Amino acid sequence: MADEEDTKTVQFHEMGLDDRILKAIAKLCWLQPTLIQEKAIPLALEGKDIMTRARTGTGKTAAYAIPVIQKILSSKQLATEQCVKALVMTPTKELCNQAARNILELTNSCSREVRCIDVSGQVALDSQRPLLMEQPDIVVGTPSRILAHLKAGNLSLKKTLEMVVIDEADLVFSFGYEDDVKALMDYLPKIYQAFLMSATLDDDVKALKRLLLHNPVILKLEEPQLPETSQLAQYHIKCQDEDKYVLIYTLLKLGLIRGKTIIFVNSVDKCYRLKLFLEQFGIPTCILNSELPVNSRVHLVDQFNKGLYSIIIAADEVALDDPTQLKKQKQKYKKDKESGISRGIDFQHVSNVVNFDFPTDVDSYIHRVGRTARGTNHGTALSFINIDEMKKLEEVEEALSDIHPDGNSVFKPYNFKMKEIEGFRYRAKDAMRAVTKVAVREARLKEIKAEILNSTKLKSYFEDNPRDLEVLRHDRSLHVVQEKQHLKNVPDYLIPPTLRQNRRELGRKKRYNKSQTRSQSWNKAPAKGHLRYMKRKADPLKSFEFKGFGNKKRKK
């Protein structure tokens, strides 16, 4: 009985939270707190400084945002004057933007009683001054941006600040913000409550702790670095480098990878190469890499989250997006090279992560794969492995051995017989021929051009120089790789016999779904459990019998 009491999750409504926060949580459909939220929120409400280490995707943002909002709402009841009460710092603009949006979601029932602004945007300091003069309750920014505002006198925290948060704390120093954080200390009051949130507790986080926290509670959750196999299924396919293109095309075209998908590659060039390749088969994708301006990246992730795109091809190189930090960031660039794009970004409802190129280290694998199976969602990770990458796979296997303490590997092999898809290989070769160096260069230029046209900074320049704008608009690229009708459809004879049934079912399901959508207005909604079962069943990566794939021996 006592044990039952101990293991019972403390629910949100048992934490003494304001009704408006509970309403916002209900709107987000969060049924119960995640482990880190369950542990951190009550301690934070007691006023403790907290340092946490919790796995990626476990809801660390809400673990600090909920108590921060609760404390601000409570202080409002005392009719104190409007002032900045909380400072939230993260190492990149995207993460600032994301934190501010999460805070907004959690305050959307507070009818602007809690105001939060994100000052990390690429605009002049002066243009944000009026916003800061309004004394928002929460200010979000990178350490260098906050320091710049403090130095400019746009922000004053000495008398009013009550809470300081550093999210993704392990990246703060390695992104070159050490001096800024140290300089910032002079502008903070003597007493404040602080939270350090991190996916790892390394020496940098410990140094930050010494700098910012007073006698903190350390919440180091003893949990595997990635979710259990029941939530996250991890597969690998052993293949030659040149097979990767035909494989990804086949898996996508035959519907073996379905739902929102992030395909990771190891270079920006490869992003464009793969995009141009897939487009010829009528598979639309969008690209995410650190070359794109931060606004475009934020916009893209937003559109992906809204469901406008379903496949992102991402090259995870570090996002060196703050010019003032560039030199410092470059010095430590190597350390976080791999995690730049994947770190901390909350791509929502991602069904699959595909490592087209295997990541160069364990951390990077964890951060890439951590983009799926977030919160309480399920997901699948599939890694293409060539012979040279086997050692890296073993390193990841070793690092994730805590998921399967019984000694079994966390990876399941994805038995795919390459010879079954020979017909696809010819088509892939045909498509690959069009992906020349010139075409890739044109595609990159096209993207930069689109960015220039969309740039708000250059708007006034183009107003004064309309001819330049015209030239840019009409300067069409010479080598556009077109979608090819004959490649778009897959004739039946190309499909391996074992997959034909799968394809028929796919077609039937599509027709069934259409008729369901039509009739749903008068039909009773299916039970949630049934929906979950259907979704799992419909996920071919999980439900398909790969082992029988053209294997005559097994048929016996």
Ligand X SMILES: Nc1ncnc2c1ncn2[C@@H]1O[C@H](COP(=O)(O)OP(=O)(O)OP(=O)(O)O)[C@@H](O)[C@H]1O
Q: Which residues contact ligand X by CB under 6 A?
A: 30, 33-34, 37, 54, 56-62, 199, 344, 346, 348, 370, 374-376
Cβ proximity to ligand X: between 369 and 431 the closer is: 369
The least distance separating ligand X from the CB of residue 56, rounded to whole angstroms, comes to 4
- Closest separation in Å from C-beta 166 to ligand X: 12
The 3-state secondary structure of 156-176 reads CCCCCCCEEEECCHHHHCCCC
Q: With respect to ligand X, which residue has the nearer C-beta, 37 or 107? A: 37
Give the nearest distance from C-beta 438 to ligand X in angstroms: 38
Closest approach of ligand X to the CB of residue 199, in Å: 5
Q: Find the shortest distance in angstroms from Cβ 347 to ligand X.
A: 9
Nearer to ligand X, 33 or 176 (CB): 33
Residue 374, token pair as written in the block: 């977030």
As given in the structure block, the two tokens for residue 498 are 């074992």
Q: How far is the CB of 526 from ligand X (least distance, A)?
A: 21
Q: Residue 22 CB, nearest distance to ligand X (Å)?
A: 12
Minimum Å distance from CB 301 to ligand X? Answer: 12
Nearer to ligand X, 91 or 176 (CB): 91
Q: Which is nearer to ligand X, 95 or 315 (CB)?
A: 95
Cβ–Cβ under 8 Å, residues 231 and 378? yes
Q: How far apart are CA 99 and CA 87, in angstroms?
A: 11
Closer to ligand X by Cβ: residue 226 or 252:
226
Helix, strand or coil, per DSSP, at residue 379: strand
Tokens describing residue 444: 């990159």
Residues contacting residue 340 through CB under 8 Å, at least 6 positions apart: 290, 316, 317, 318, 319
* Nearer Cβ to ligand X (375/423): 375
Query: In sequence order, what are the residues at sequence separation of 6 or more whose Cβ sits closer than 8 angstroms to the Cβ of residue 369?
Result: 226, 232, 234, 353, 355, 381
Supply the DSSP string of 193-229, one letter for each residue.
EEEEEES---HHHHHHHHHH-SSPEEEE----SS--T
The whole-angstrom separation of Cα 268 and Cα 12 is 43
Kind and range of the H or E run holding 52 = strand 50-53
Q: Which residues of 460-474 are buried (b: 16+ CB within 10 A; e: fewer)?
A: eebeeeeeebeeeee
Residues 6+ apart with CB under 8 A from 203: none
The residue sitting closest to ligand X, measured at its beta carbon, is 375
Distance between CA atoms of residues 383 and 356, nearest Å = 6
Whichever of 94 and 357 has its CB closer to ligand X, that residue is 94
Q: Is the dihedral of CA 196, 198, 200, 203 positive or negative?
A: negative
Return the amino acid letter for 101.
Answer: R
- Is the CB of 147 or the CB of 194 nearer to ligand X? 194
What's the gap between Cα 36 and its chain centre?
19
Which residue type, as a one-letter code, is found at position 178? E
Residue 339, both tokens: 């995690």
Sequence letter at residue 387:
I
Between residues 106 and 276, which has the closer beta carbon with respect to ligand X?
106
- What phi and psi values does residue 361 have, to the nearest 5 degrees? -150, 170
How far is residue 265's CA from residue 314's CA, in Å, rounded to a whole number? 6
CB of residue 517 to ligand X, shortest distance in Å: 26
> Taking the complex as a whole, how short is the minimal distance between the CB of residue 141 and ligand X, in angstroms?
17
3-state secondary structure at position 259: coil
Residue (98 or 285) nearer to ligand X, CB: 98
CB of 364 to ligand X, least distance (A): 13
CB nearer to ligand X: give 58 or 289.
58
Structure tokens that stand for 531 in this block? 């929906």
* Minimal distance, residue 63 CB to ligand X, in Å: 7
Query: Among residues 371, 298, 301, which one has the least CA distance to residue 92?
Result: 298
